[in-house]
Homo-oligomer: A and B are copies of this chain.
Amino acid sequence: MRQITIYDIAKEANVSVATVSRVLNGTAPVRKSTRAKVEALIQSYNFQPNGMARSLLKNETGIIGLIVPDLTNPFYPEVFAGAEHAAHQLGYTFLLSNSIGDYAKESDYLHLMREKRVDGILFMGGRVNLKQCEPHLAQELEQVASVIPTVLVNGAIRNSNLVSVLTDEGAGTALAVQHLIELGHRDIAFLGGESHMSTAAIKLRAYRKVLKDAGLKLLPEWQLMDSFSIDSGKRQMKHLLSLTERPTAVVCVNDYNAIGAIKAAVEAGLSVPEDISVVGFDDIPLAHHFIPELTTVSQQANDLGRTAVGVLKQMMEGQKVKKQHMLEPHLIVRQSTRTLVQHDV
């Protein structure tokens, strides 16, 4: 069952395909009676022009490729929502893929998006030293970016010239650590994610700098790097609690880690924030519904998505854009942190 084409309509209406096209797009005047005849046929056959043919000719698809690391982490759907809202208004749709940190899959999808001739690409989540570790992906990414407008969202890739839109994660982490220091904490640990991800690396660096500047203890065993999941947070916190020298507060690479950390603390019989303060990052929707409500750093995921699409749009229009677009995060103090109370035994 072949679909109806513009030729079928033209034939039946005794006009040329050019005329049907003109009715369809209103690109040139068509006699009223002709238009009516054609429109009636379009209606009755429920004809819809073939987008592929149009795309081929116009050399644009109206599709933006989006590669996210893990849609299962509520932060990304939030970014997606922001991006989608903006894209929808501009008439774009998303070809979406979940990479789950799988290099091969990422490379695969990048390839595929090029083949599908998407109009632009949003690549979320950067890597440190990508070139050394994954030359294939790095190469693919650069090749694609040289042909299709591409923006890197919330990630950096060393030595690359990609345009990026990102939260100042370093500043955000500093906000979190400073908050804890102001609450009187001196023993602050860091729970991180995969160490090769730029997010994790940037946050760890910021954590170290603030502690160092404040002249506080910087123990290696308090600087953990695992992954971005809830379970990772749990594991890391368990580990911290097993140490003879325990921190009184913890900064986490994201809210999922923070939730896991709190869970582990509670399971170990501690209370948050009474016994230990925990601060997250991202401000996922759940952060202010969790018990206790999470003190966290908001990076306004929605804005991030919206901005990324905005920048991409400019690039697609051929405009020059700044290489970096930085968004400022801010601290949201809720219930998971509090003033340090001395536990004199």
Contacts and interface: CB of A to CB of B under 8 A. Distances in A.
A320 interface: no
A283 interface: no
Nearest to A105: B88
Contacts of A71: 71, 77, 80-81
Contact of A117 (B51, B77, B94): B51
Interface stretch (A29-37, A52-60, A163-171, A200-208): A52-60
B93 A95 contact: yes
Contacts of A76: 77
Interface in A40-66: 46, 48-53, 55-56, 61-63
A72 B286 CA distance: 10
Interface stretch (A183-191, A255-263, A324-332): A255-263
Given A48-B114, A80-B71, A115-B48, A230 B289 contact: yes
Contacts of A80: 71, 98
A136 to B, nearest CB: 14
Contacts of A111: 48
Contacts of A50: 56, 115, 117
A3 B74 contact: no
Interface string A157-196: 0000000000000000000000000000000000000000
18 contacts: A46-B143, A48-B114, A50-B115, A52-B116, A52-B117, A53-B56, A63-B116, A71-B80, A72-B74, A72-B78, A74-B77, A77-B77, A81-B98, A88-B97, A93-B116, A234-B289, A266-B291, A286-B286
Interface of A: 3, 46, 48-53, 55-56, 61-63, 71-72, 74, 76-78, 80-81, 84, 88, 93-98, 105, 109, 111-112, 114-117, 143, 147, 230, 234, 259-260, 262-263, 266, 285-286, 289-291
